[in-house]
């Protein structure tokens, strides 16, 4: 439930309410939006059934929440959340482009990729050190040495870095080396991992499960928010489908839908979303037109030699041509048409 406070509610009245909620073994999260103070009650609401919060001084109304997620809901937080990463604000006015290889393969390779990412005008370097692979015989990533290579390459070229954590035991080392922790599609409902991610202060990029509904995805985000970390970025990366012509069916309708349902920023991964480098630029442009706050794109200096996901990696020059187009589309999508050259 959400407790909406009256405009003139005093700090003492607010404290009394928070104490009553906490005394029932629940969590009270106080937030202020549009000069309105609301307290979101977290936990098993049955524990507070006998207490009428509406009768407390300073309370305007108590709103029962029917959705299975609350902190992720737009109703709870009408304004867009902006997650600060380095000099970028994901969910803010500007589009954020994250790019790099599927996996960190060598020090030389990730430095070459970082240089290309920087030259293309993207600001965040991606690269997996712990790779979730379908077969145990496929390249599994370099592990901890890969994390260090990624961080060093990012630092050298002034790029923030993002990489995946697959296991609760790796969360701390990933948090130490990366600016954003990625939770992959296969782990979207790994609740132990979500809870561990919630204990860090790092931004968490939460990919949509490959066969999960938008509601399940927002519930997964809720685990992280409810655990105390409000720096969540959602990432649409496509769903399994009957059609083998593409690797996944990229659900771009989730972008405007999530914008309605939630205040969290959302980015799109057209690389895993299609599995085909020739389709990535068009789907990246479409994602921005649909309102995405950013892109996560695979790019490899030598795509044919990539040890994973070679078919979907862009060439550096394709990324460099794409990034300015994405920024121009973002301006149109936000209605800043007058700022476009020649418009």
Binding interface with ligand PEP (CB under 6 A): 102, 128, 132, 164, 184-185, 207, 237, 269, 272
> Nearest distance from residue 293's CB to Mn ion, in Å?
21
**Residue 134, CB half-sphere, CA atoms under 13 Å: how many?**
2
Among residues 98 and 326, whose Cβ is nearest to ligand PEP? 98
What is the contact surface with Mn ion in residues (CB under 5 A)?
A: 102, 309
Specify burial of residue 273 (Cβ count, 10 A radius: 0-12, 13-18, 19+).
buried
237 binds, among Mn ion, ligand PEP, none (CB under 5 to 8 A by kind): ligand PEP
Among residues 8 and 136, whose Cβ is nearest to ligand PEP? 136
Shortest-Cβ-distance residue relative to Mn ion? 102
**Residue 161, CB half-sphere, CA atoms under 13 Å: how many?**
32
Among residues 219 and 239, whose Cβ is nearest to ligand PEP? 239
> Nearest distance from residue 103's CB to Mn ion, in Å?
7
Shortest-Cβ-distance residue relative to ligand PEP? 184
> Nearest distance from residue 275's CB to ligand PEP, in Å?
10
Q: DSSP string covering 186-229, please?
A: GGTT-HHHHHHHHTSSS-EEEEPPTT--HHHHHHHHHHHHHTT-
Among residues 128 and 301, whose Cβ is nearest to ligand PEP? 128
Q: Supply 97's token pair.
A: 């482009």
Measured CA to CA, the distance from residue 253 to residue 261 in angstroms comes to 12
Q: Dihedral, CA atoms, 292, 294, 295, 299, nearest 10 degrees?
A: 160
263 binds, among ligand PEP, Mn ion, none (CB under 5 to 8 A by kind): none
> Nearest distance from residue 320's CB to ligand PEP, in Å?
21
Q: How far apart are the first and last CA of the chain?
A: 47
The CA distances from residue 230 to 80, 143, 177, 292, in Å, are: 12, 27, 20, 19
207 binds, among ligand PEP, Mn ion, none (CB under 5 to 8 A by kind): ligand PEP
199 forms bridges with which residues in the sheet? none
Q: Supply 141's token pair.
A: 């990533």
> Nearest distance from residue 271's CB to Mn ion, in Å?
7
> Nearest distance from residue 310's CB to ligand PEP, in Å?
13
> Nearest distance from residue 254's CB to Mn ion, in Å?
20
Among residues 102 and 290, whose Cβ is nearest to Mn ion? 102
Among residues 39 and 149, whose Cβ is nearest to ligand PEP? 149
132 binds, among Mn ion, ligand PEP, none (CB under 5 to 8 A by kind): ligand PEP
Tokens 């994250």 appear where? Answer: 98
Q: Supply 13's token pair.
A: 């009245």
């Amino acid at each position: 439930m959400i407790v909406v406070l009256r405009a003139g509610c005093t700090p003492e009245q607010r404290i009394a309410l928070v104490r009553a909620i906490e005394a029932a073994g629940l969590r009270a999260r106080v937030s202020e939006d549009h000069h309105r103070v609301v307290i979101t009650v977290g936990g098993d609401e049955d524990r507070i059934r006998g207490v009428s919060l509406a009768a407390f001084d300073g309370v305007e109304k108590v709103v029962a929440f029917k959705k299975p997620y609350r902190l992720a809901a737009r109703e709870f937080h009408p304004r867009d959340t902006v997650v600060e990463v380095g000099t970028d604000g994901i969910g803010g006015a500007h589009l954020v482009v994250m790019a790099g290889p599927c996996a960190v393969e060598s020090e030389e390779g990730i430095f070459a990729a970082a240089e290309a990412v920087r030259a293309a005008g993207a600001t965040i370097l991606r690269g997996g050190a712990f790779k979730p692979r379908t077969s145990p015989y496929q390249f599994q990533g370099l592990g901890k040495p890969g994390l260090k290579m990624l961080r060093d390459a990012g630092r050298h070229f002034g790029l923030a870095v993002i990489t995946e954590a697959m296991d609760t035991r790796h969360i701390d080392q990933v948090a130490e080396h990366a600016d954003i922790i990625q939770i992959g599609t296969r782990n979207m409902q790994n609740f132990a991992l979500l809870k561990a991610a919630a204990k860090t202060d790092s931004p968490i990029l939460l990919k949509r499960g490959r066969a999960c509904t938008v509601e399940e995805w927002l519930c997964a985000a809720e685990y992280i928010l409810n655990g105390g970390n409000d720096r969540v970025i959602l990432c649409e990366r496509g769903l399994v489908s009957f059609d083998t012509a593409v690797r996944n069916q990229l659900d771009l309708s989730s972008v405007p839908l999530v914008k309605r349902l939630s205040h969290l920023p959302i980015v799109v991964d057209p690389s895993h979303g299609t599995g085909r480098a020739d389709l990535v630029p068009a789907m990246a442009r479409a994602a921005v037109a649909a309102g995405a706050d950013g892109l996560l794109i695979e790019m490899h200096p030598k795509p044919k030699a990539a040890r994973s996901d070679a078919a979907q990696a862009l060439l550096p020059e394709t990324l460099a041509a794409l990034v300015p187009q994405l920024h121009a589309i973002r301006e149109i999508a936000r209605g800043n048409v007058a700022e476009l050259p020649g418009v």
